[in-house]
Amino acid sequence: MSWIRDPFRSTLIIYSTLVVVAISMLLLTRETLNIWYLEETALPLVEEEAATLEEIWQDEGLPEVRRWIKDNENDVFQYQLQPVSDPLLIKALDAEFTTDTQSIELIPESDEALLDDETHLDDETNVFTVELYLPDLKTERWYFLAVTLNSDVFAGPLRLFNLLLLAIALVLLAGLLLSYLMLRKVRRHLNDINHTAQTISKHRDLSARIQQGNLSGPLADTLAQINDMIAELEQSVLKSRQQADNIAHDLRTPLTNVQQKLQQLDLEQPELCEIEQQLSRLLHTFNLLLRINRLETNGENPPLEAVNLNELLADIEDLYLPVFEDQDKHLMVLPLLAEDATGDQPYRVSANRDLLFQVLCNLMDNASKYNPPGATITVTLSSSGANTELIISDESGGVPPELLDNLCDRFFRADNSRQAAGNGLGLSFVKAAMQQMNGSLTLSNQTTPNGVVTGLKVNLLFTSDQSSYK
C-alpha cells in the first residue's frame, strides 16, 4: 500500500478506478436507461393516441374509429381492431362492465393471464403497445384495439441517446488520459529538480540549473525560484572561497616571511629552531584548514581514478606496522578477496590515490594516538553491490555517544585536556576528502554483544559509480 503515500500514483489509481467503475456502470445500466428513455418519450405518445381513439369510440362509435384508423395508418402508429371472440374473455369483460365503463384497460385481478390489456414494452423490439377492450353498445360486442408505436421511429433518437452515453464514457477516458499526461509533465519537472539537486549534492556543482522550457504558471515560478536560490548559493560559495583565498594570501605570506627569517637566523642561533618549528606547525594547521575549506567547497577537485584498495592498504600496513609495533599495538589488515564478494574486482573503488592515502594516514595516526598499548586495530574491507566499505575498528574505548557527531568538527577533541599531539583537524579533513571522492565517513562506537563500548569504528564508504571517473 506504499502507493497511497505517493500523491501521483494514488491520484491516478483512484481516478482510473473511478473511471472504470463509472464506465462499467454506464454499460451495465444502458438497457435500463434505454427503457427509461423510451418510457419518458414514447409512452406518452402511444397513450395519447390510444386516448384519442377511445374518445372517438365513445363520441362517434365503431365506424368512425375504423375510418380514423384507415386515415391515420402511417409510419408512426400501427393499429389493430377486431371483435373479441374468446367466450371466456367476453364473460370476464362482461363481469367488469358497468354503465360507467367506457373501456376496460385494467386487468381484473382474478384473471390476470386472460385479460392482459395494458401498456407494455416488447423487450426485443423496443415497441410500446397499448391494448384496450372496448364495448360496442349497438352490437353489444367487445372489440380489441391495440395501438403500437412503430419501432423504427425511435431508433434514431435512441441511437442518439446511446451516442450520448458513449460520449460520456469517452470524456471520462479522455479526462483520465489528460490527467495522466499532466501528472507526467509535472513529474518530469519534479524529476528534473531531483536530478539537479543530486548533481549539486554529489558533485557539489552549483552551476547546475533546472530546465524551465517554455513553462508558465506556478510551477514555472517554483522552478525559477529554485534556480535563483541555487544561483545565490553559488555566488555566496564563490564569495566565501574568494574570502578564504584572501585570508590565506593575506596571512600566509607574512607568516611565511617570518618563518623564513627565523630559518636564516637559526643558522646563527640554534635556540630559535624550536620557535621556527612551532611556527611551521601553525602554518601547517593553517594550510590544512584552508585545504579542508577548499575540499568542502569544491575548490580542490582531484581527478578520480580506479584505486585498488588492497594495494593501498598494503602500503598503509607497510608504513604503519612498525609504528604500532613500537607502541606494542597490533595492526591487522584484512584485504578483500575477490571470491568473498560479488562483482569484478570489488576492491577497486573510484577515488584519488594520493588523497585517499592521506585520509588513511590520518586515521592511522589517530589510531596510534588514542589506543592503549596492547590494543588491536583492525582494518577490513567489505563489498556489497556498488558499495565498498573500509572499516577501521580499534580498542580505544570509544567516545561518549553524544560526542560522536562532533568528532568531525574543526578543532574538536574528545579529550578536553587536549593532551595528545595534533591539531583537531584530522577527521574534518577525512570527512571533506571522502565527500570530495563521492564517498562518506561514518563514526560509531564498537560494542560487544552485551553492549560494552570497546572502541571506535570508522566506516569509509565508497560508491563505485563508474560514471564519476573524471
Partner 1 sequence: MKALIVEDNSDQAQFIYQSFQAEGHQADIAEDGKEGLLCALQTSYDLIITDRMMPRMDGLQFIKALRASGNQTPVMIVSALDSVDERVKGLRSGGDDYLIKPFAFSELLARAEILCRRQPDSGPDEEPVLQLADLRLELLTRRALRDEQVIQLNNREFQILEYFLQNPGRVITRTMLLERVWNHHFDPQTNVIDVHISRLRKKIDLPGYTPLLHTVRGAGYMLEQRP
276 belongs to the binding site for partner 1 (CB under 8 A): yes
CA-CA distance, 310 to 380, in Å (whole number)? Answer: 10
Which span sits near partner 1 by CB under 8 A: 45-53, 63-71, 136-144, 259-267? 259-267
User: Binding of partner 1 at residue 267 (CB under 8 A)?
Assistant: yes
Q: What whole-number distance in Å separates Cα of residue 108 and Cα of residue 94?
A: 11
Does the protein bind partner 1 through residue 257 (CB under 8 A)?
yes
- Determine if 266 is a binding residue for partner 1 (CB under 8 A): yes
Q: Does 246 bind partner 1 (CB under 8 A)?
A: no
Interface with partner 1 (CB under 8 A), residue from 294, 329, 348, 431: 294
Q: Does 373 bind partner 1 (CB under 8 A)?
A: no
Q: Say whether residue 280 binds partner 1 (CB under 8 A).
A: yes
Is 256 a binding residue for partner 1 by CB under 8 A? The answer is yes
At 378, list the grid cell: 583492525
263 binds partner 1 (CB under 8 A): yes
Q: How far apart are CA 84 and CA 88, in angstroms?
A: 10
Q: Is 212 in the site for partner 1 (CB under 8 A)?
A: no
Contacts of 50 (CB under 8 A, 6+ apart): 130, 132, 145, 147
Cα torsion through 7, 12, 13, 18, rounded to 10: 120
Residue 222 binding partner 1, by CB under 8 A: no
Contact letters (x/-) for partner 1, 423-452, by CB under 8 A?
A: ------------------------------
User: Binding residue for partner 1 (CB under 8 A) from 67, 184, 281, 418?
Assistant: 281
The mark string for 333-372 relative to partner 1 (x by CB under 8 A, - otherwise) is -------------------x-xx-xx--x---x-------
**In the complex, minimum distance from the CB of residue 249 to partner 1, in angstroms, rounded to a whole number:** 8
Nearer to partner 1, 259 or 383 (CB): 259
* Residue 273 in contact with partner 1, rule: CB under 8 A: yes
Rule CB under 8 A: say whether 310 interacts with partner 1: no
Q: Does 255 bind partner 1 (CB under 8 A)?
A: yes
Q: In this structure, are strands 119-122 and 127-136 parallel, antiparallel, or unpaired? A: antiparallel
- Residue 447's DSSP bridge partners are 453
Q: Is beta strand 376-384 parallel, antiparallel or unpaired with respect to 330-334?
A: parallel
**In the complex, which residues of this chain contact partner 1 (CB under 8 A)?**
248, 252-253, 255-257, 259-261, 263-264, 266-267, 273, 276-277, 280-281, 283-284, 287, 291, 294, 300-303, 315, 318-320, 322-323, 326, 352, 354-355, 357-358, 361, 365
